[in-house]
Amino acid sequence: MRRRAFLGQASAVGGLGLLAACAPGSDAPEPGSATGPAADEVDKDVAALGDVTLTVWDQEVRGAQNDAITALIESFQQKFPNVTVDRHSQSFDDLRQQTALALSGNDVPDVLQVNNARADMGEFVKAGQLTDLSGYSEAYGWEDRFPASVLAKSRYSADAVTFGEGSLWGLPQTGEVVGIYYSAAKLEALSAQVPTTWDELIALVSAAQAAGEQPLVLGNIEGWPALHVFGPLQAHYVPAEEIVSLGMGNAGADWTSEGNIQALTQMAEWGASGAFGDSPNGQDYDAAWAAFTEGTGVLLIGGSWLGPDMEKVLGEDLHFMAPPAGMDGKVATTGGTGLPFTIPAKAKNAVAAAAYIDFITSSEAMALIAENGGMPVLETAALAPDSGVNKEIYEAFDAVSTSGTLLPYLDYATPTFADTAADTLQGVIGGQTDPAAAADALQADYGEFTAAS
């Protein structure tokens, strides 16, 4: 299961985390009490700790992910021979459920990967169950190492009201970006050029359809894949700053704005015209991208994680581009990071834990991640392969994260927004919900949450 395949479960599992955090008899820290050391108080002398067993929970279970983290752990233990890493890896879904339960008790890991959405990290920050890493960040130089747009995906205010600003609660290793896959052969057959503006892309969709081709490939039976089409499209009509507020569930924006309704209208038009195929809401996500590799469709708007699997079939015919510049004149597209590594508030070995997080996000770690086929969140362009679709993906992520805007996944907005957005966009694409009503539904969820925060 790929990175974003879990979204429909967000509210259910997030609710479990909230219940666990407030369970009677638990001795979870009070909200706001899980502060970490100030920068001048950070202890970086791991060797002086004596023999330490560092317990790490992660979900780096796939081939390239597992290879990279295994190699990094071996190198970390060589650097710090007094530290033994006791690693527990499990699937994303299993990790989420175990995290909610573990953080409410006393037997917690020292390092823990946590989904950065409000339903997870936000609730744990609110409950005082994670350590504020701001002091460690200053002491280790993470602020200089990471672009601000990347760190923002792991920032919350201490009360978790504001997402994207405030204290730092985790640090990621890998990056993700949503862009546009295309077949060079299909474009050549249509006598079409690679679109450089959204107007050109929208015109290409119409031209492909007129030529008897399915312009866009989308499998949306799960509901969440449509968010990956809508997010980049939204940037054509809505300022990036406004999308960030909407996606992070921060007050001050409005889903019923003219720009959002225009974006929803374009989605509705593509759905009604058959641009996504006959029944996108009835097709599975994995079946859709597999069909693209077999010749269905001209464009597929999707995540970077699809590239390696599709390249195995399409080879050099497969290409990837960041979406055209948004209305602000800069590239803005949906994306984010792999799950950040955090230190629970009750971790017994915080000194070693911070050193571990620093080590697995270093320049050396980024090179090793790339070597093993992953996409490092830092130095991405420099570490890109010499050719192929992964080169284009790496370069697109680097461009967006350093000189554009890496927009948040829209499901981050509220603990229930994953379901709200999925249901709403299915209705827009299927013609059951008109754009204005869809905007109202999205605003109701977002507005209720921000008003109560």
Secondary structure (3-state) at 178 = strand
Report the pLDDT value the prediction gives residue 34, as an integer from 0 to 100.
58
pLDDT digits (tens, 9 = 90+) for 214-229: 999 999 999 999 999 9
Whether the CB-CB separation of 198 and 210 falls below 8 Å is answered with no
Residue 197 has pLDDT above 90, yes or no: yes
Taking alpha carbons only, the member of 393, 380, 411 closest to residue 116 is 411
Whether the CB-CB separation of 30 and 114 falls below 8 Å is answered with no
Whether the CB-CB separation of 164 and 152 falls below 8 Å is answered with yes
Q: What is the mean pLDDT of residues 116-142?
A: 94
Give the pairing of strands 405-407 and 332-337.
parallel
What is the residue-averaged pLDDT of the chain? Answer: 90
* Distance from C-alpha of 309 to C-alpha of 298, rounded to nearest angstrom: 17
Report the pLDDT value the prediction gives residue 275, as an integer from 0 to 100.
98
* 419, amino acid identity: D
Phi and psi, residue 380, nearest 5°: -65, -45
What angle do helix axes 258-273 and 435-452 make, rounded to 10 degrees? 140
Spell 255-271 as b/e; 16+ CB within 10 A means b.
bebebbbebbbbbbebb
Report the pLDDT value the prediction gives residue 38, as an integer from 0 to 100.
95
pTM: 0.82
Residue 19 has pLDDT above 90, yes or no: no
* Distance from C-alpha of 408 to C-alpha of 232, rounded to nearest angstrom: 11
Whether the CB-CB separation of 332 and 234 falls below 8 Å is answered with no
Residue 72 CB partners (closer than 8 Å, separation 6+): 359, 360, 365, 368
Give the lowest-confidence range in 32-36, 267-271, 283-287, 295-299.
Answer: 32-36
* 137, amino acid identity: S
| Cα distances (Å, whole numbers) of residue 26 to 80, 124, 373 | 34, 14, 42
Report the pLDDT value the prediction gives residue 402, as an integer from 0 to 100.
86
Alpha-helical (H) ranges within 1-79 are: 10-21, 63-79
What is the DSSP code (8-state) at residue 388? S
CATH superfamily of 176-335+408-452: Periplasmic binding protein-like II (3.40.190.10)
pLDDT digits (tens, 9 = 90+) for 88-115: 999 887 898 899 889 988 899 999 999 9
Whether the CB-CB separation of 138 and 369 falls below 8 Å is answered with no
7-174+338-379 and 176-335+408-452 agree in CATH topology: yes
Report the pLDDT value the prediction gives residue 45, as an integer from 0 to 100.
97
Q: Could you tell me the two tokens for 131?
A: 């350590």
* 46, amino acid identity: V
141: left (phi over 0), alpha (psi -120 to 50) or beta: left
Phi and psi, residue 338, nearest 5°: -65, 170
Residue 241 CB partners (closer than 8 Å, separation 6+): none
Residue 388 has pLDDT above 50, yes or no: yes
CATH superfamily of 7-174+338-379: Periplasmic binding protein-like II (3.40.190.10)
Whether the CB-CB separation of 300 and 180 falls below 8 Å is answered with yes
331: left (phi over 0), alpha (psi -120 to 50) or beta: beta
Domain positions in the chain are 7-174+338-379, 176-335+408-452
Report the pLDDT value the prediction gives residue 185, as an integer from 0 to 100.
95
* Distance from C-alpha of 339 to C-alpha of 337, rounded to nearest angstrom: 6
